[in-house]
Amino acid sequence: MKPENENLLIERIKDGDHESYGRLIDHYTNLIYNLCYRMLGNSSDAEDAASMTFFNGYKNIKQFRGDCEFSSWLYRIGINTCKTILKKQKSESKNTLALKTEEDKEHADIDFLENLEDTTENVEKKVVAREEMASLQRALKELPEQYLTVILLYDVEGKSYTEIAKITRATLGTVKSRINRGRKILREFIYNSGNK
């Protein structure tokens, strides 16, 4: 849901009103952070990507013509920001990435253990849920960007085919095809990793 008087806020921002942009950021922070987190897989990178998204949004606000929803326009910036970060990460050495992954895992394990309740049933449920989430996260990391973007927008964010087409600047047919192909790749990866 967009904030009340969003169009008026956007016009004020274009005239240099920083406070109005702060109101828009407040409204879209969780949405953009969640998108970035799902694309990048960790909170530190997601926070950086969300900040860059809002910075680039402000810097380029005059390019927003209103031919799509502001949230779709901001999503596009967020997706492009995450793609840039993913490309940079792929070009880094494997040692750096492995260290970062281990560090994230260590923090996640500490958080997980701190939140466990003492009942065996709850522990089992949480362990299974954690394993399923980890398996899905690994599968998402293996998914090519073109499929990852549409899967996250459709299955996680609940965007329509039309909205995704506007955000990704792809045809409806391409969006549907990528969603179907992306789901198939995810199923195969999860099935194959479960049978190892």
Kindly report which listed range (26-30, 35-39, 167-171, 190-194) carries the lowest average pLDDT score: 190-194
The number of beta carbons lying within 10 Å of the beta carbon of residue 59 is: 10
Range 116-196: architecture per CATH: Orthogonal Bundle (1.10)
d(CA 12, CA 134): 43
Query: pLDDT digit string (tens) for 106-117?
Result: 555 445 445 544
Query: pLDDT digit string (tens) for 128-141?
Result: 666 766 667 777 77
Alpha helix locations (H) across the chain? 6-14, 18-40, 43-59, 70-91, 94-115, 120-142, 145-151, 161-168, 172-194
- Please provide the distance, in angstroms rounded to a whole number, between the alpha carbons at the two ends of the chain: 43
Query: pLDDT digit string (tens) for 67-95?
Result: 888 888 998 999 999 988 888 877 764 44
pLDDT band for 52, please (50, 70, 90 cuts).
Answer: very high
Domain with CATH 1.10.10.10 in the chain: 116-196
Which structure tokens are listed for 146? Answer: 């073109």
Query: What is the residue-averaged pLDDT of the chain?
Result: 79
d(CA 186, CA 174): 18
User: CB of 70 within 8 A of CB of 58?
Assistant: no
Over 60: is that where the pLDDT of 8 sits? yes
d(CA 189, CA 182): 11
> Which CATH entry fits the domain spanning 1-112: 3.40.50.1000, 2.60.40.10, 1.10.1740.10, 3.40.710.10?
1.10.1740.10
Over 90: is that where the pLDDT of 161 sits? yes
Query: CB neighbours of 13 closer than 8 A, spacing ≥ 6?
Result: 20, 21, 24, 58, 61
Domain with CATH 1.10.1740.10 in the chain: 1-112
pTM of the model: 0.66
d(CA 162, CA 174): 11
Higher-scoring residue by pLDDT: 132, 5: 5
pLDDT given at position 95? 46
For the chain, give the percent of residues with pLDDT over 70: 73
User: By C-alpha distance, which of 52, 44, 46, 43 is closest to 25?
Assistant: 52
